[in-house]
Amino acid sequence: MRSRIGLSSLARLLLLVFAFLLLAGCGGQPQATPGKDQTAQVVREQPANQAPSQTGSPEQPTGTAVKAVEALVTSVSDGDTIHVKLNGRDKRVRMIGVNCPEISHPDLGIKEQPYGREAKEYTTKRLLGKKVWLELDTQERDRYGRLLAYVWLEPPSSGSEDEVRSKMFNARLLLDGYAQVMTVQPNVKYADLFVKFQREAREQGKGLWGLAPAAPSTSKGGEAGYIGNARSKVFHRPDCEWAQKIAPHNRVEFRSREEALEAGYRPCEVCNP
């Protein structure tokens, strides 16, 4: 009798041990890789201030805020050049990326160009006696010692396309047809936007773009031809002395004046193409 009872107890014990091992084995199975629904749940459970990173569009702010210093416009030399009072000192400022038609400078041998006086009057009306904010680029001064700057009518923040359109005076000169694009390395931060603004003004016949174009010089083949300098971004008539001095690797040919302007080149002040 005792032997049978002992065997029965041993059998129960073995069954309990087997059941425990079976349960432990089920709990130790490897976890499956989360599916799409599980992944979405993980994203939704992230804190609100940890939004997934994304690449911004060219028109959206990128990087740090725009840095600019406040100044007071005290006089206007011409459409793209002004004098300001900055930190108690007079500074001559040349606006980056734009070139207004010249006004008369007899001492320099420069004749007045069409729309030069209108450009100066436009700048005078908008800026004289007003506060502006100056943003510098890579090169701070030109060979004449002038401060090179983007002139903001209001303090800038993001530098987005919308803000440049509405607040930057350099851009307004282009959009309203008082200047042409003048791209000079290394100050090219807004160069692409400026070309876009100039194109809009030309298509709408704004300002100087509404003037009847002068008849261009033509080559022997009867087609208009202009020679550009890829380094200086200036284009010339083919017979201009400065066109002959362009190094072969910097020489660029344009079929028309419009093509040269569209590419961001400015006309030579000697041959006036």
- What pLDDT, on the 0 to 100 scale, is given for residue 252? 84
Alpha-carbon distance of 226 to 215, in angstroms, equals 13
- What pLDDT, on the 0 to 100 scale, is given for residue 267? 92
Higher pLDDT, 113 or 233: 233
Does 265 have pLDDT greater than 70?
Answer: yes
- What pLDDT, on the 0 to 100 scale, is given for residue 25? 52
* Closest by Cα among 157, 155, 151 to 137: 151
Is 110 within 8 Å of 69 (Cβ atoms)?
no
Identify whether 143 is a catalytic site residue: no
Alpha-carbon distance of 95 to 79, in angstroms, equals 9
The whole-angstrom distance between residue 58's C-alpha and the CA centroid of its chain comes to: 8
Neighbours of 66 (CB within 10 A): 21
Identify whether 89 is a catalytic site residue: no
Task: List the catalytic residue out of 126, 146, 202, 237.
Answer: 146
- What pLDDT, on the 0 to 100 scale, is given for residue 109? 62
Alpha-carbon distance of 19 to 113, in angstroms, equals 100
Identify whether 146 is a catalytic site residue: yes
Question: Lowest mean pLDDT: which of 73-77, 129-133, 178-182, 222-226?
Answer: 222-226
Torsion angle (degrees, nearest 10) of CA 220, 224, 229, 235: 130
Alpha-carbon distance of 220 to 136, in angstroms, equals 45
**pLDDT tens, 143-173?**
999 999 999 999 999 999 999 999 999 999 9
**pLDDT tens, 193-203?**
999 999 999 99
The mean per-residue pLDDT over the stretch 234-257 comes to 81
| The model's pTM | 0.59
The amino acid present at 67, given as its one-letter code, is K
The mean per-residue pLDDT over the stretch 225-232 comes to 86
Task: List the catalytic residue out of 44, 59, 70, 94.
Answer: 94
Q: How much is the mean pLDDT over the chain?
A: 78
Task: List the catalytic residue out of 102, 135, 161, 163.
Answer: 102
Highest mean pLDDT of the ranges 47-51, 59-63, 172-176, 244-248? 172-176
Alpha-carbon distance of 81 to 83, in angstroms, equals 7
